[in-house]
Structure 1
Amino acid sequence: MDRIDAMRTFVAVVNEGSFSKAATTTQLSPQLVSKYIAKLEEQLHTRLLNRTTRKVSVTEAGSQYFIHAQQILLSIDEMEAQLGGLQQLPKGILRISAPVSFALKHMAKLVTDFQTRYPSVTVDLQLSDRKVDIVEEGFDVALRIGQLESSSLIAKKIAPIRVVLCASPDYLNIHGTPKRLEDLEAHRYLHYSYMNIDTKGQVFKYLKAKQLKESSVFRSNNGDVLVEAAIEGAGLVLQPTFIASKALNAGKLVIVLPEYEPTPIGLYAIYAHRKLLPHKIRCFIDFMADYYGTPPYWDECISRK
């Protein structure tokens, strides 16, 4: 027996003064109304109603229960009304974790446009390349880039992420342009500490081997720094186009060995539950899904050759 349904039935009987009228009000059969009251009294180990063939009266215990039951049902109805309102108009604080470089370059306008559409949502955007625990750390959504591990979390792919090996024209003029994978052995490599590229990619395997041999000349946990160093002629760098596209389009960087470009990875929105998802989270994920385009706008002008 559902305790809330039984409570509603009891309140209806008291308000209507009879089982038959309560049955009409609750749209239940008289037999089910009687069963609900009997089960409720059994659970409470006390009589709530005195019944005769002519009328129903409330016992002292029933009178006390009636007062509390009305308050509980009123609170439930108010809560459901408020939640229903949230489903109509998303509001509240939306906590988002996002990678540093991606957020700095591509999320300020997204958040602004999202809040223009949903002005009652306050966005708390925290930047970190660390893999946060969204449940333990209280995030509603986390954006992640790379190959996802199997977990109980829900992942929505937002955009493909293309990764390219590139260098500045000045660097290539001095050190030569690699024509084969084996040519990478003779070059300087700028290594990203959190690299999470498809390990089947041959370029990745070569560069990973160079890193293990400690032949990478510059390491950092920030892709923007490495791209800027590559622009200055420091060496080859393997980075996502969402960081390097501006330099590539301006001719400050040139793609190297395009025929060995790794398989694109992905930008994902990660959240905890699919069912009963708060409306603010659903609206944000749906908003992001179409925001960057296919292909993403940062790839539109980049040649593969």
Structure 2
Amino acid sequence: MDRLQAMKTFVTVVDTGGFTPAARKLDVSLSVVSRVITELETHLGVRLLTRTTRLVRPTATGATYYENCRRILAEIEEAELATTGAHAAPRGKLSITASVLFGRRFVTPIVVEYLRRYPEVDAECLLIDRNVNFVEEGIDVGVRIGPLPSSSLQAIPVGRVRRVVCAAPDYLARFGTPATPDDLAHHTVIQTTGISTLPEWRFMRDGETAPTRLTPRLATSTNDSAIGAAVAGFGLAAVLSYQIADEVRDGKLRIVLDNFEQPPLPIHVIHREGRHAMHKVRAFIDLAVDTLRGTASLNP
């Protein structure tokens, strides 16, 4: 058994989520992929993959082995690039994830600049308002807002944002500015259901986080539409501070109830490579960290 080829095959199966797509990507037959994985599991004496009718996923042991294989294969590629003198030119495919609005406003411009600098790299952006599984979805780098769960991912802090309540100046002129969260009962509320399906916003009261129940006049699935309704003067919306930085600067929205805000949420660039990150990953991380740390709306 060729161990290096077996590692490549195993990593490809995990990255693509199945034997058939792995075979297509490797340009070999399905039987070859199946045989290599069987031989690898027999050689190691453990089950690496859990097979279902819909998807192939790594076992707990397989996930650890997968990360080790990726590191080893990355080190081999780095050694080859250094030997051939191509070390300074990242190449290959890079996969990045972020939330939809943050990705559109901040990550996509970074990706475009990165691709301009490194023409031998292709990129794929997964912009979605949920935390993705890096292993299952083949992600190299991500940007996440909020506390991070304990994991093997490496995290680099790049900023912080606040959860804020905002409204248009003309709305506040017509209906008054709420002085406490309890005043929201007498105001028109716009709720983003993508964040929480519960009709409540959370505020700090006497040093503790407490919910305030709401009766929304408008419920919408995206922050973009909630912000649009707030700018139109319809009511109050709760969003993240970066999402309305331009509107606040231009006087289209005002932040209210700031004395009751929860602590700021951290922003991290996360990746799974550790200090052995491939050159294409390191180059993107360096650019993303420098750019995000230099963005005023993310570092108030």
User: Which residue is equivalent to 1:210?
Assistant: 213
**Which residue does the alignment assign to 1:297?**
296
Q: CA deviation at 1:255?
A: 1.1
The letter for the 2-side match of 1:101 is L
In the other structure, the counterpart of 1:104 is: 104
Quote the residue 1:152 is aligned against: 152
Shift, 1:225, TM fit? 1.1
Correspondence 1:192 to 2:192: yes
CA distance in 1, matches of 2:244, 2:277: 35
In the alignment, residue 219 of structure 1 is paired with which amino acid? A
Structure 1 residues 220 and 268, CA, compared in 2 at 3 Å: closer, same or farther?
farther
Query: Residue 290 of structure 1: SS of its match in structure 2?
Result: helix
What do the CA deviations read for 1:152-176 (whole angstroms, capped 9, x no partner)? Answer: 2222222212332110112212221
- Within 2, Cα distance between the matches of 1:241 and 1:271? 25
Output aligned runs, 1:1-305, within 5 Å. 80-82=79-81, 87-195=87-195, 201-202=204-205, 208-211=211-214, 215-294=215-294, 296-298=295-297
What whole-Å deviation, never above 9, does each CA across 1:66-101 have from its counterpart, x for those lacking one? xxxxxxxxxx99994246556432111101111111
Which SS does the other structure have where 1:226 is aligned? Answer: helix
Aligned partners of 1:153 and 1:293: how far apart in 2? Answer: 20
Calculate the TM-score normalised by the size of structure 2: 0.64
Amino acid at match of 1:138: G
Relative to structure 1, the CA distance from residue 186 to residue 83 in structure 2 (aligned partners, 3 Å threshold; closer, same or farther) is farther
Q: How many Å apart are 1:256 and its aligned residue?
A: 0.6
Q: For residues 289 and 131 of structure 1, what CA distance do their matches in structure 2 show? A: 20
Secondary structure of 2:230's partner? helix
Q: 5+ unaligned residues in a row in structure 2: which ranges?
A: 1-74
Q: Percent identity?
A: 31
Larger Rg: 1
- Report the Cα distance in structure 2 between the residues aligned to 1:270 and 1:148, rounded to whole angstroms: 10
Aligned to 1:55: none
Q: Is the 8 A contact 1:87 1:278 kept in 2?
A: no
Alignment: residue pair count = 220
Give the superposition deviation at 1:179.
Answer: 1.6
- Counterpart secondary structure, 2:242: helix
The structural deviation recorded for 1:260 is 2.3
- Measured in 2, the distance between the counterparts of 1:200 and 1:182 equals 10
Asked if the contact 2:94–2:122 (Cα under 8 Å) also holds between the matched residues in 1, the reply is yes
- Structure 2 vs 1, CA of residues 140 and 77 (structure 1 numbering), >3 Å: closer, same or farther? closer
Q: Distance in 2 between matches of 1:78 and 1:179?
A: 59
Instruction: Give the Cα separation in 2 of the matches to 1:269 and 1:165.
Output: 26
User: After the TM superposition, which segments of 4 or more aligned residues of structure 1 sit over 4 Å from their partners?
Assistant: 76-79, 83-87, 202-206
Residues 86, 99 of structure 1: alpha-carbon distance in 2 compared, 3 angstrom cutoff = farther
RMSD: 3.0
Match of 2:8 in 1: none
